[in-house]
């Protein structure tokens, strides 16, 4: 059984209609048999025009799956969103 918590925030209007956000969370086993897994994410979204938004996301995890011996992971992605 796991316990989990997370928090995050988003700031609108950083530059025009742009948005920046972040989040962090942890999962912990109730009986202490697993290490605490931490996850985080940050992103920046830029409105190119009224039909297209681009965003960059960076996310990471420490002790994935509660395994202290596992390497931490970081992933970066680019997203394009079209609205018609």
**Tens-place pLDDT, residues 48-74:** 999 999 999 999 999 888 888 889 999
Q: What would the mean pLDDT of 33-58 be, rounded to a whole number?
A: 94
Q: What is the pTM of this model?
A: 0.77
Q: What is the mean pLDDT of residues 19-33?
A: 90
Instruction: Phi first, then psi: give them for residue 64, nearest 5 degrees.
Output: -55, 135
């Amino acid at each position: 059984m796991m316990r989990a918590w997370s928090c995050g925030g988003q700031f609108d209007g950083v530059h025009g209609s742009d948005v920046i956000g972040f989040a962090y969370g942890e999962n912990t086993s109730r009986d202490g048999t697993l290490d605490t897994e931490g996850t985080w994410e940050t992103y920046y979204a830029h409105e190119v025009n009224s039909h297209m938004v681009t965003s960059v996301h960076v996310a990471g995890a420490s002790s994935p799956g509660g395994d202290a011996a596992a390497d931490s992971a970081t992933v970066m992605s680019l997203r394009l969103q079209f609205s018609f």
